[in-house]
Every structure is written in C-alpha cells, then in structure tokens.
Amino acid sequence: MTDHRIREVVIVGGGTAGWMAAAAFARFLNNGYTRTTLIESEEIGTVGVGEATIPPLITFNRMLGINENDFVAATQGTFKLGIEFVGWGGEGERYFHPFGFHGHDLEGVHFHQLYLRERKRRVMQDISAWSMSGVAAQHGRFARPGAEARAPLSQLLYAFHFDAGLYARYLRGYAEARGVNRVEGKIVDVAQDPESGFVRSVTLADGRTVEGELFIDCSGFRGLLIEQALETGYEDWTHWLPCDRAIAVPSTYPGEPDPFTRATARNAGWQWRIPLQHRMGNGHVYSSAHISDDEAERVLLANLEGEPLADPRRLSFTTGRRKLAWNANVVSMGLSSGFVEPLESTSIHIVQSGIAKLIALFPDKKFNPIERDEYNRQMQDLFEDVRDFIVLHYHATRRDDSDFWRRCRTMSIPDKLANKIELFRAKGRLFREGFELFATTSWVAVFLGQHIVPEDYEPAVDALDEDRVAQALEQMRQAYLDTAQRLPSHGEFIANTCSASGPAPFNFATGTFA
C-alpha cells in the first residue's frame, strides 16, 4: 500500500506568521512522522505590523497550552478592550468599538434595536456605555473574567497589545522545544517539478538544499514561493483602500498604559497608538498620492506623546490578496498571502485563521484539488470580509477637509458592503453570512459612530413596553458602570499578574523559568 502521508513540511520565513505556523504544527501535527523545518535569515528583517490583536488569539494561545501571564510578560504585552476612533466620522469626534457585546437582548429582540427606539424618545449616551469592555476601557480598568464569572463581568472580552518581535521569539522557543528544526540561511534558488510546477526544494546561499513536500510561504510581501516561483497573481484593492505607505516609530510615554488601541484620522490617512509595557507603538498609515513621505513622517513625529526611541521606519504596501492563498503545494500566510491595513488589528488573526483552516484541510501527497479549493474559498471570504469592514470606516465619513477624505467619502464600494449599509440604514438590520469575522456589535459600533443611523427600527420592538425597556436599559448601564469601577486599573492588574519586570521568561525546553 502506497504511503501518501506528508512527512516534510518546510516553512519559508520566520517572523510572526512563520513561528505561529511552526508552533501550531508542533502541537497539532505531532504524529510521529511529520517533520517541520523553518528557514529564516537574520539578514532579512521582518515587518512587525501586528502589535494589536483581536480576541480569537486567546483561543490560539489556549490551544497551544500557553500560560497567558507568561506570554504577556514575555512579549511586554498589555490588554486590549477595543479601539477608540478619533476623527473618523468628523473632525474632533470620537467613538469606541468594543470587544464583546452591547447589552442584553430582550425577548429575542436585539439590544441595538431597543437602543434605537429609545434614542428616538430621549438623548442617549453612546452605545458603548452598554458594553462591559467599553466602560472598563473608558475608565482605564481591567480584570480577566474567570471561568465562573457572572454577568456583567462575563461580558468583558479582551485581546492583547504586544511586541510582535518578542511574540515571534516566544513562539520560536515553544516550537523548537517541540521538535521544529530552524535553519539559518538565505534562499537563493527554488527548484520546481518540471511537469506539475510543485516546489521540490529550496537552495540556500551556502549551497545547502532543503527538500519538502508541503511548503508554507511566510516570506513577506515578496512572496518568494507563492509569487516569484509560482506566479500566482495578486488582486489589487487600492481602489477601495488607497493607503499604500506606513511609517512606524516607538516612543516613550508617561503613566499607565490604556487598555485600548487608538486610531486617529489624519488628513491623508490615520495614526495608530498601541501601548505596551515598555513603550508606545506609533505609526502613520497614509496615501502617497495625497501626502509626501517626508510630510507624513513630520505628521507622525509631531503627534507623539513621548520621545522617539528609534528612527522612523518606512514601509510600502499594496492592499489586496493573493489570487490563490494555496497554489500547487505552497500555502501562503502572513504578508505573502495579502495585506489589509491594520486598522482593525486583523493581520495576526488572518494568519491564525489560515493555520487553523490548513490543519483542518491538511493534505496528503496526492494534493486533492477539492481540499485546496475549499481552503482558497474560505480564505477569500475572510479577506473580503475584513476588506469590507475596513472600507466602511473610510467611506462612512462626513469629513470634507482634504482630497483624501473627499475621495473616500464619494468612492464606489463593494456591492456586498453597499447592501449591508442600506439594510442597516433602513431599520438597523444586520445579517451575518457564513463565518464572518465581525459580529453585530462591531458593525453597530462603526455604523453609529460614523453617523449611519437607521431611519427606523424593527417593528418587533414595539411589542415591548417602552417604560419597561427604558428601565432595563438603565439597569444594564448602571451595572456595567458599577462593575467597571470596582475593577483594578489596567496598570495594577499587569503589575500584579504579568509584569515584564517580574519572573524570568519560561524555558519550554527545561520546563523552568530561566
């Protein structure tokens, strides 16, 4: 009987994507016959665009058996309860996109529908006042809900800010302790089967050859295997997402770190602010058609809260996705598979999702096309889902102060997004399809935060007594506020549980702290 099992997996490139894949394979392909080799070169730097994350990363870490406090300390991390958007709906305005939920549904009626009716009756606070994560963020508070936590604390959902380079280093220790073989070297040649086009091996600068059966391309924007070797092609989304440059710089900052990311709109793009334990991560994402690189750098440096800790680093990119995430026997992950700017912190999640889907559809040496096609379909859906949500932020603006914002406000948008906007604008209706990443809370937060307010609400709301609903909403709001005020500050929680200045990093090989 012929053995078709995959025995040699080769990951090309390290960084966050490469070591996430290596760690996951070490955990889930620990079958006694599949070996994983990761090739990376210290000569080639990595692009750390993913210092902020979204809640599904908690699941990834737990699946690997990673202790959360050890992980946060090792990566100089902090906790994230959502994103504050400044200046997106209009200059000087701000709103909050929280993780978790808005309130509680009543008798099968969505909370945001109750809120919409109530705001027709009286002046209401922003809907984030009915979010446990939103209220805790507003007050700078944080605590990790335990397994036995009850509402409303159980509704507090969180993610992380961390140093992407330290995260890759942390996962490298995890993966190598579980048998992943790291090879240092720069790839200078790719050998392909002359008939199938499948990649058979890569050659390093020192002449060594590394053979494989399944290759994971984590080589970054250049797509060493997926594009340079296989010529897969790229779908350009610049029409909808015109930003094509970024400048990043770390800085000092005073006081406790905020438990949220901030995204501040600028005249030709936006600026990120990501608080870590040891520094602030800052960056300016912008359109080179609307501002020069030098001016974009001046804007960034003029809006830092502390002193720069390094020289600004410039990046160029084209938003879009590889036409096939999996081509032949190569699966692309990270920047080699595509790039949707980091406005909603989805870069690392797309890597995580690609890893999970590949493990679920893991091939054998026959490489059944149905498995590859299903993987590509699911990854296309994910990329387009993220794309549409990001496009919403740009398009749903009332800003008229620059050519950039006028372009975004008046541009054509994907049909699926246009339909979603009109459904919400009519009666606040939202329908999630398949495995969409962003939940109702996320869409509602951005819609209302950027002035897409429904003309009416669902008729089912009128079946509920107005006074009873008003009383329930006030009880919810007060419960969130009371609970948040009893939590420790974000800084206190970190100091007591996962400070980077605490215990030494955990050594996975010895099972002890170094």
Instruction: Output phi, psi for 471, to 5 deg.
Output: -65, -40
Contact (CB, 8 A) for 168 and 348: no
Specify the residue for token string 């984590």. Answer: 218
For the question of residue 80 being annotated catalytic, the response is yes
CA distance 173 to 180: 10
Amino acid at 132: M
CA distance 101 to 104: 8
Residue 93: strand pairing partners: none
CA distance 52 to 347: 9
CA distances from 513 to 74, 167, 174, 178, 503 (A): 11, 17, 13, 17, 7
CA distance 303 to 306: 9
CA distance 483 to 153: 7
Distance linking the first and last C-alpha atoms of the chain:
48
Instruction: Output phi, psi for 330, to 5 deg.
Output: -120, 130
DSSP summary character for residue 277: S
Cis peptide before 152 (omega within 30 of 0): yes
The 10 Å Cβ neighbour count of residue 65 is: 8
H or E stretch at 235: strand 234-236
Residue 331: strand pairing partners: 216, 326
Specify the residue for token string 């997402």. Answer: 241
**Structure-derived torsion over alpha carbons of residues 270, 276, 279, 280, reported in degrees to the nearest 10:** 10
The strand ranges marked E within 77-184 are 78-80, 82-86, 94-98, 159-161, 181-184
Contact (CB, 8 A) for 477 and 471: no
Nearest CA among 380, 407, 381 for reference residue 394? 407
Amino acid at 186: K
Catalytic residue among 80, 365, 416, 420: 80
DSSP summary character for residue 259: S
Q: Tokens for 44? A: 């080639």
Specify the residue for token string 């690392």. Answer: 348
Contact (CB, 8 A) for 396 and 451: yes
Amino acid at 222: R
Contact (CB, 8 A) for 493 and 257: no
Active site residues per annotation: 80
